[in-house]
Amino acid sequence: MKDLRAAATEAILWQIASSVSPAVAKQIGTSVVILDVLDCGDAEKTSRRADLYTAFGFQPLPTTPLRMFLPVATISSLLE
């Protein structure tokens, strides 16, 4: 079940990343994709979620670690 969830999450993240193409980002003035890691109250699960996004290149904001961002430049390099 975990492999299925990981694959689904990867597919969702890939869809988000590919929908923010460099051309679209330039048109609308987007330089980063921002997300909030779900904090369900279970520290271990929340940490695993954050680790998953980190594995995809997302970085935590210094003042709000559960708010993460991925620069469009990083997305562009992944799509090349």
DSSP state string for the chain: -HHHHHHHHHHHHHHHHHHS-HHHHHHHT--EEEEE----S-HHHHHHHHHHHHHTT-EE-SS-TTEEEEEHHHHHHHH-
How many Cα atoms occupy the beta-carbon half-sphere of 39 within 13 Å? Answer: 8
Per-residue pLDDT tens over the stretch 38-56: 999 999 999 998 998 898 8
**What range defines the domain where residue 23 resides?**
2-79
Asked whether residue 68 carries a pLDDT value surpassing 90, the answer given is yes
Considering the entire predicted model, what is its pTM? 0.68
Q: Say how many domains are in the chain.
A: 1
Per-residue pLDDT tens over the stretch 17-29: 666 666 666 676 6
Q: Any long-range contacts for 24-28 (C-beta under 8 Å, 24+ apart)?
A: 25/72, 25/75
